[in-house]
Amino acid sequence: MKELIRKIFRGDGILWFVILSLLAISGVIMFSAISSSAYNHDNHLLPFWGHLKHLFMALAVILIVHQFAFRNIRLFLLLIPIASLLLLILTPSLGRDVNGAMRSITIGGFEIQSIEISKVAIVILFAEILGFYNTHYKKPMALKPFCIMSGILGVFCFLVMIQNFSTAFILFMVTCLMMLIGKVSFKYILSLIGVVIVVAGLFIGISYAFKIENGITKRVNTWIGRIDQYNAKEGNDKESATIVIDDKNRQIMNSKIAIANGIQPCGPGNSVQRDYLALAYSDFVYAVIIEEYGMYGGIFTILLYIIILARAGKIARQCKQEEATESLLVIGLALNIVTQAFINMSVATELGPVTGQTLPLISRGGMSLLVTALSFGLILGISAHNKERIEKEQAATLPQSEENTEPFETETETETETEAEIETETLNNQE
């Protein structure tokens, strides 16, 4: 039985525990948080069954993907960045409007969110580039290849920013960290960050100053409005003890009320604020977790994401020197998931402006769940490969040590026998 479980759930056991815990939390909390969506259906359980279906699909994706060795699906993975780029180009013109931006496109009856695919695509692409350079070159990256990489990153981030600024920010920061780990010169990375800050600042400043409302500039006012609203909250709290809940702050205020209720947890399925939080099942699901399970539920959720990063670091270190691509891929995917999780939780606790990021593997969503599952499948696949390789290396060294001990014992016995014969002969001669 244990052998069967090991074959089904390959790779890092602790990481599997975290994944199954997140899926279990998602199933339990969604039964409560999805209530606002349930009211819109004749069958109130229909949204929950739909989410449960997506959870099982996510688990199936992890189980299938992690069975393949990275080298066997490497060429297939390289198709993901190409597909992602095409989808990012097509979505603004052919996509469906979601919260004021074109974020999804329907192909063959399936709704695809291009920015979700880009989260994995850009990590795969840069893991390949940096891994190739680290494997074949024994010197720091030159300026020319770095400029090419920066150009590719700029194109992806610009196309993602049209749909969601926070996602573009996450991808940019994760990629910069991958460059740093991939031994790219620190001064090059700082220069890239400086150029991006200057260009983005000029673009946003000009768009806001001249009230340009074409294409991507339509989103500028939304970004600035969210930041202004976040910066103004402290001043409003000091000026007046009375807090007015309006359409602008409704989400975040109800989230704060839910977290305050968490001082005395109401228990599973008893959340009150879920009925007032329009996005209780996605952007603000962390607030519902705290309201129902209190501080311990909130801390436990945070620890799960920290463990993901810690285990990814261990898996990356286990990769051989010539497996730099696999190592960087694991780190990049884990950083992506954990960064998104902490941004989501910071929004729910009002430690940052509203961004629209979901809580990975917990929030409701088909495409986001499947993309996160793909990331975990790749990480576990590399972990399983490392584990099998280490076990083979240990097994190969064990017989050698046994063989080395046998001659030593035989040799010692022979020497003892020879000494005994010499003593016997000496006694005979004396007689």
DSSP letters spanning 110-151: EEE-HHHHHHHHHHHHHHHHHHHHHHH--SPPPHHHHHHHHH
Q: What are phi and psi of 247, to 5 degrees?
A: -65, -30
pLDDT higher than threshold 60 for residue 415: no
What does each C-alpha distance from 290 to 210, 267, 331, 406 come to in angstroms?
Answer: 43, 10, 29, 63
- Give dist(CA 97, CA 100) in Å, integer: 6
* Model pLDDT for residues 196-241, shown as the tens digit of each residue: 889 877 877 776 666 555 555 555 555 555 555 555 555 555 444 5
* Model pLDDT for residues 90-120, shown as the tens digit of each residue: 887 776 665 555 567 777 667 788 888 999 9
Which helix or strand (DSSP H or E) is residue 104 part of? strand 101-107
Helix (H, G, I), strand (E, B) or coil at 74: helix
Task: Please state, as a whole number, how many other Cβ atoms lie within 10 Å of the Cβ of residue 346.
Answer: 15
Residues in the chain: 431
Give me the percent of the chain exceeding a pLDDT of 90: 37
Per the CB < 8 A criterion, the answer to whether 332 and 120 are in contact is no
Tokens 């972990």 locate to 383
* Model pLDDT for residues 335-363, shown as the tens digit of each residue: 999 999 999 999 888 887 777 788 999 98
Ranked by mean pLDDT, the top range of 35-49, 84-98, 307-321 is 307-321
- Measuring CA to CA, which residue among 320, 346, 316, 318 is closest to residue 331? 316
Instruction: Return the pLDDT at 408.
Output: 45
Mean pLDDT of the region 386-396? 87
Tokens found for residue 248: 């602008």
